[in-house]
Structure 1
């Protein structure tokens, strides 16, 4: 069981590298025709880019299916992919893109840095020239900027109190 949880957490961490690679070289590469829906403004609930969520869900389901009788390492790989998918949905779709209106503004430096990095990624509407392809890992420059913003907000709050 402990080994399984270790595999699951390792896969979860590794998925950030997989997501970065896929985003940079596949989504902004030969599958741009599907991903570009994510880089254009629209009013509908779903976009072609959501097919990638279905792809990873299917992949996780297959790992669960083939690794469940008896439970082996494949089950835990599926669990790690699923855990990353849940984090992706909550962070990317709910927090950053507000597909569900659950979160308000944050003063958390990490979340603010993550949001800033994603906004920089979306500044480029085209296939080429984008930056910041990860989902959970944020470059240190964004942390420094986010920290300064939060510090200014806290300083202003102290003045007004």
Structure 2
């Protein structure tokens, strides 16, 4: 039983690293053609980026089924993958992007930091020079602001790009806020 719980929790934690790498190198790399929809205005409930969540769900279901078919540890690994997907939907889609009808606002310091880090991630047009690729962990905002500023300077962007980054940076105060800046 302890082994099962350990497998579940280790998988859940490891999925943040998997998510970070997939977001940075797949979604902002060769898989941009699907992820682009997440960085643009969209109408309706679904976007092509949701295909990534379906792939994650298929992996979790496959692992759980294989685990139930004989190799028990796989079901706990699959449960960890599924739990990450559920937490992702709640935090990312519900709290950060507020795609749900009731639009919850982050009140806790941790959730505010995730929210503000994701705003900085979306401050960049296109797939290059983004920051904060994690889903459930965000570096300190001052670190992300510095990275964003440095990536803009290194890319030699024009004044318009500089202004959009400065607007995003100024909108993400590092002090405690009762309401996140939008």
* Fold match by TM threshold 0.5: yes
The answer for the alignment partner of 1:141 in structure 2 is: 141
CA distance in 1, matches of 2:142, 2:109: 9
Return the TM-score normalized by structure 1. Answer: 0.87
Structure 2 runs not aligned, ≥5 long: 144-171
* Offset, 1:138: 1.3
Q: In the alignment, is residue 128 of structure 1 matched against residue 125 of structure 2?
A: no
Structure whose residues are more often helix by fraction: 1
The answer for the alignment partner of 2:146 in structure 1 is: none
The answer for the alignment partner of 1:116 in structure 2 is: 116
Ranked by relative contact order (alpha carbons within 8 Å, sequence separation 6 or more), the top structure is 1
The answer for the alignment partner of 2:88 in structure 1 is: 88
User: Is residue 95–residue 105 contact of structure 2 (8 Å, CA) maintained in 1?
Assistant: no
User: Is residue 94–residue 101 contact of structure 1 (8 Å, CA) maintained in 2?
Assistant: no
CA distance in 2, matches of 1:142, 1:117: 10
User: Is residue 57–residue 82 contact of structure 1 (8 Å, CA) maintained in 2?
Assistant: yes
**Which structure 2 residues correspond to residues 1-161 of structure 1 after superposition, within 5 A?**
1-70=1-70, 72-141=72-141, 148-150=175-177, 153=178
User: Is residue 113–residue 146 contact of structure 1 (8 Å, CA) maintained in 2?
Assistant: no
Root mean square deviation, CA, Å: 1.9
CA distance in 1, matches of 2:131, 2:8: 29
Deviations 1:40-89 (A, max 9, x none): 01121100000000000000011011111346110001000000001000
Deviating above 2 A after TM superposition, structure 1's stretches of 4 or more consecutive aligned residues are: 101-107, 140-143
CA distance in 1, matches of 2:103, 2:173: 18
Q: Matched residue pairs, number?
A: 151
